[in-house]
Structure 1
Amino acid sequence: MIKARVTVTLKDGVLDPQGKAIEGALRALSFSGVGEVRQGKVFDIELDTADRARAQADLKDMCERLLANTVIEDYSIAIT
């Protein structure tokens, strides 16, 4: 079994209204020194295989087809 973490974030230059709202809320809660906040999503995925190359290929396909909107989002895959 292989475990992986896929992190999806907005590409640079794409507006992030949720990140801006979080940024404003943190400042309203008196957290000083907060710079830009960008939000994203994390997927923890278990695959029933021992083949790391196959897992990497499958995870990339999952990202390209479902988990990320590759027009506006980037993704990274970490296999543990």
Structure 2
Amino acid sequence: MKARVHVMLKDGVLDPQGEAVRHALGTLGFAGVQGVRQGKVIELDLVGSDKAAAEAEVRAMCEKLLANTVIEKYSVEIV
């Protein structure tokens, strides 16, 4: 079973990488982009077949290591 974790900066937290991408897109002629938020996707290969247990375990991983919950939000998808 696989888990996919999406990690993004919380609303209100400055995103200098996203701003750099937005600026670069404008420079390349893509003028219609008002804002960019950059995040990360983490894919995990998990052993087991219990989706609920897997999701709970991945959420614990996020809280302890995969996301900085002070400034980042995350979502977990079991696929």
TM-score where L is the length of structure 1: 0.95
Please give the alpha-carbon distance, in whole angstroms, between the structure 2 residues aligned to 1:15 and 1:32. 21
Amino acid at match of 1:30: G
Q: How far is 1:54 from its partner? A: 1.1
In structure 1, the gaps of 5 or more residues are none
1:16 maps to 15
Q: Which runs of 4+ in 1 moved over 4 A?
A: none
Please give the alpha-carbon distance, in whole angstroms, between the structure 2 residues aligned to 1:3 and 1:35. 34
In structure 2, the gaps of 5 or more residues are none
After superposition, residues 1-80 of structure 1 pair within 5 angstroms as 2-80=1-79
| Percent identity between the two aligned chains | 59
Please give the alpha-carbon distance, in whole angstroms, between the structure 2 residues aligned to 1:35 and 1:46. 36
Q: How far is 1:55 from its partner? A: 0.2
User: Residues 25-50 of structure 1: CA distance to partner in whole angstroms, max 9, x if unpaired?
Assistant: 00000012112100000001110010
Aligned-CA RMSD value: 0.6
User: Residues 7-64 of structure 1: CA distance to partner in whole angstroms, max 9, x if unpaired?
Assistant: 0000000000010000000000001211210000000111001011110111000100
Please give the alpha-carbon distance, in whole angstroms, between the structure 2 residues aligned to 1:32 and 1:7. 27
TM-score where L is the length of structure 2: 0.96
Please give the alpha-carbon distance, in whole angstroms, between the structure 2 residues aligned to 1:55 and 1:9. 21
